[in-house]
Structure 1
Amino acid sequence: MNIFLATFLFLIPIFLLLTRGKRSSKRVPPGSLGIPFVGQSLAFLQAMRANTAEKWLEERIRKYGPISKLSLFGKPTVFIYGQAANKFVFTSDSSTIGYQQNHSFRMILGDRNLFDLSGEDHKRVRGVLVSFLKPESLKQYVGKMDGEVKQHLEMHWQGKQQVQVLPLMKTLTFNIICSLLFGVERGARRDKFVACFQEMIEGMWSVPINLPFTRYRRGLRASATVQNMVKDLICEKRVEVEQKGASPHQDLITCLLGMCKEDNEEAVTENEIVHNVMLVMVAGHDTSSVLMTFMIRFLANEPTVYAAVLQEQEEIAKTKPSGEFLTWEDIAKMKYTWRVAMETLRMVPPAFGNFRKALKDIEYGGYLIPKGWQILWTSPMTHMDNSIFPEPSKFDPSRFENQSSVPPYSFIAFGGGPRICPGYEFARLETLVTIHYLVTQFTWKLCADNSFSRDPTPIPTQGLPIKLVPRKLC
């Protein structure tokens, strides 16, 4: 019996080694997970704010190679980069890789937002959002967006000798979101949304330490307030649709409420509506405001590009009687202006990168990415690769004249593959309407240098102050 027991105990570690070997013959990528829980989060955030995150990652690549491990926002993470890495991330089966936002993002926006869903849940909720954000639906909102832009310029730009562009663009995009997507008009409710919104965003990319006076704690408090406000909106919209006969397509919330399955079950739950409304608020606010801000900066620095944009927009303006809104057909004519926007997104992507989650053990690049680990992808590592975009530091909208000439999965400002950003057309519409009125009504000069930081989106020096001159006075 003793011999049998001894033999059994001797075989246990051998059995464990053999079964572990069957799991994968690969090892995890090189690198260090750093200090428990904090890892490299503080160093990464510091590099983002100093606009040196690309160099920070390049140092990792020189030290560890094209794939390495680290710890960000409390999670073990694998950093991968390059065109092949982008394709791997954006085309992998939903049973292999899922969305994985950092803990702060998920806790503040809610775990039923589109970025944290996978499989059938992702497909279901994405389908509902796309039904509202697709071009066929957006056509009816061009006039309303046109009115919001005109009103914004009258209130904040006209009669001013100098303005700060980024804060004004954030005001504009937030007003457009409130009006077109949620049906919240100007007033006390919209002002309260604004007050909580910024604190919520600041907490999303913070180390998730829930202590008084931390960004994360303030973000959680602001999130709770915003969620309650959105729930109140949902109740009001439900009454408007069910009892007052309001159109189920008057805004995003009514559209979400109106989507039901044939078996009368809700296509989206109330929590999913709340969390995805908040996601759209964040995504639509920051990305478009950053894009338009940096377009204004590049147009000030690139007179030839500015002249071409102005010519295109003036030709459209000449066809519009005074006071008439732009139409979807007008937007379709703004081809060069959108190429300028694409080149702006290439050089200054609003989202530096994002996370995915390994839903099972994955072998990639000769290494094992363990189940549950985060996968970090980044935009600038291909956007500024001179083997993909020659002279990457040169602003050249002609790169996008022929979309087929841009290598697949190299330009990823809107993601790629089946999970490309559903708000792409909304951002395009918002940007082109705004730039149309800016270039036809004003000319401007920069009042600060071209530097910017990331927190986490790009923030130009002093919010990009410009000297403003009405074109009729030029």
Structure 2
Amino acid sequence: MPFCLSHSTLDLITLIVVPASHCCNGTLRCHRTPRRLPDTAGRLPVCWKNKARLRRRNLPPGSLGLPLVGQSLGLLRAMRRNTAERWLQDRIDRYGPVSKLSLFGAPMVFVAGPAANKVVFLHEALAPKQQRSLTMVLGRKNILELVGDDHRRVCGALMQFLKPEMLPRYVGKIDGEVRRHFLDRWADRRTVTVLPLMKLLTFDIIATLLFGLGHGAARDALAGDFERMMGGIWAVPVDLPFTAFRRSIRAADRARRLVAGITRERKAALEQGTATRSSDLIACLLSLTDSRGERLLTEEEIIDNSIVSLTAGHDTSAILMTFMVRHLANDPTNLVAMVQGK
């Protein structure tokens, strides 16, 4: 039976949920929710979903709550208040280590305990599968959705761009973006709000490295669509007018069309010899071939995984840099040492 990952002391606990139908026969698929719980709550939450219909027999204690909504709002409120770990512990205290609930439109079972590790990593019937809202926004061919040979093939392709010997080639581009950012956003200002600026800087760097986008209308359009796209990843997947999910889906479609256009341009540039494999992520992925000389990734895989790469590196990098700035601001000794290059 699938469980949730947890240290015995609950110092680190990852929310892993299985549909309440987990006790029935059927193929189980693993769902990884798209955004982080607080650091003490682990990395990416994971859930397990069964295709079989929900049945009433042999279900654990707990309530599924209101249709579609379930306990989603309670979890989101806890995450915004940085009390998600307490929210999880309250469920364990109330219902025990196994309980049913509903998150983001899907019936789940929350299971806590160290035995979860064994089941999650060794159960052969489980395969990764994202929650519906994430798949609809990021695309069905993103690496978080793939299993087996397809996952290994896409992961290997992405690592060609990220391997250590490739990183020195990106330093100049990153340095240029950082210098321009500080001149435009920090110079001659007595006070700055760091986190929004770090998010902007992170986006600019990623857009340059992944898509080769310089400053201009295309990057500005992608930035706006990216912000709207991220706003619906955790929304209940109901595609109705004026909802965050509808806005997210529409923004993701626009972003995907923009990346598709960049992909066609890079393909033509590679054929003409005006672009190289190290130009950006799109060019790198387009240049990879298999043992038969055929392109390693399809265009859909390149687009979806470029969008995932943009999403994966954004918030975490921006938050890390914000805390670095905070540390230096609160520790003048380290700041002086850094400026002097010590």
Instruction: Sort the TM-score into its range (normalised by shorter chain).
Output: 0.7 to 0.9
Say whether the 8 Å CA contact 2:232–2:248 is kept in structure 1.
yes
The structural deviation recorded for 1:37 is: 2.9
Report Cα offsets for 1:97-140 as digits up to 9, x if no partner.
33333221110111111111111111110110111112121122
Aligned to 2:310: 281
Q: Given the two structures, how large is their TM-score scaled by the length of structure 1?
A: 0.57
Report Cα offsets for 1:360-384 as digits up to 9, x if no partner.
xxxxxxxxxxxxxxxxxxxxxxxxx
Aligned to 1:69: 100
The structural deviation recorded for 1:86 is: 5.6
C-alpha distance in 2 between matches for 1:43 and 1:67? 18
The structural deviation recorded for 1:310 is: 5.0
C-alpha distance in 2 between matches for 1:138 and 1:30? 51
C-alpha distance in 2 between matches for 1:284 and 1:277? 11
The structural deviation recorded for 1:38 is: 2.4
Label 1:146 to 1:80 Cα distance change in 2 as closer, same or farther (>3 A). farther
Structure 2 unaligned regions, length at least 5: 1-23, 28-56
C-alpha distance in 2 between matches for 1:84 and 1:309? 45
Aligned to 1:42: 73
User: Within the alignment, does 1:307 sit opposite 2:333 as a pair?
Assistant: yes
Report Cα offsets for 1:48-68 as digits up to 9, x if no partner.
223332221110121123343
Aligned to 1:168: 197
C-alpha distance in 1 between matches for 2:78 and 2:303? 33
User: Within the alignment, does 1:53 sit opposite 2:84 as a pair?
Assistant: yes
How large is the RMSD of aligned CA atoms in angstroms?
Answer: 2.5
Say whether the 8 Å CA contact 2:100–2:108 is kept in structure 1.
yes
Query: Which residues of 2 match residues 39-438 of structure 1 at below 5 A?
Result: 39-81=70-112, 85=116, 89=120, 91-92=121-122, 95-300=124-329, 303=331, 307-308=333-334, 311=337, 313-314=338-339, 317=341
Report Cα offsets for 1:130-173 as digits up to 9, x if no partner.
11112121122122212211111111011111111111011101
SS at match of 1:31: coil
C-alpha distance in 2 between matches for 1:124 and 1:266? 12
Of structures 1 and 2, the one scoring higher in RCO (CA 8 A, sep 6+) is 1
Label 1:230 to 1:209 Cα distance change in 2 as closer, same or farther (>3 A). same
Say whether the 8 Å CA contact 1:113–1:276 is kept in structure 2.
yes
Label 1:114 to 1:54 Cα distance change in 2 as closer, same or farther (>3 A). same
C-alpha distance in 1 between matches for 2:167 and 2:118? 29
Say whether the 8 Å CA contact 2:328–2:334 is kept in structure 1.
no
SS at match of 2:289: coil
Say whether the 8 Å CA contact 1:98–1:116 is kept in structure 2.
no
Q: Given the two structures, how large is their TM-score scaled by the length of structure 2?
A: 0.77
Label 1:143 to 1:270 Cα distance change in 2 as closer, same or farther (>3 A). same
Please say which structure displays the higher CA radius of gyration.
1
Say whether the 8 Å CA contact 2:133–2:235 is kept in structure 1.
yes
Label 1:101 to 1:309 Cα distance change in 2 as closer, same or farther (>3 A). farther
SS at match of 2:135: helix
SS at match of 2:192: strand
Label 1:78 to 1:162 Cα distance change in 2 as closer, same or farther (>3 A). same
C-alpha distance in 2 between matches for 1:87 and 1:171? 40
C-alpha distance in 2 between matches for 1:87 and 1:147? 46
Identity of paired residues, percent?
48
C-alpha distance in 2 between matches for 1:236 and 1:69? 49
The structural deviation recorded for 1:285 is: 1.4
C-alpha distance in 1 between matches for 2:324 and 2:122? 33
SS at match of 1:206: coil
The structural deviation recorded for 1:80 is: 4.2
Label 1:130 to 1:92 Cα distance change in 2 as closer, same or farther (>3 A). farther
C-alpha distance in 1 between matches for 2:112 and 2:160? 32
C-alpha distance in 1 between matches for 2:284 and 2:308? 16
The structural deviation recorded for 1:88 is: 5.5
The structural deviation recorded for 1:29 is: 4.5
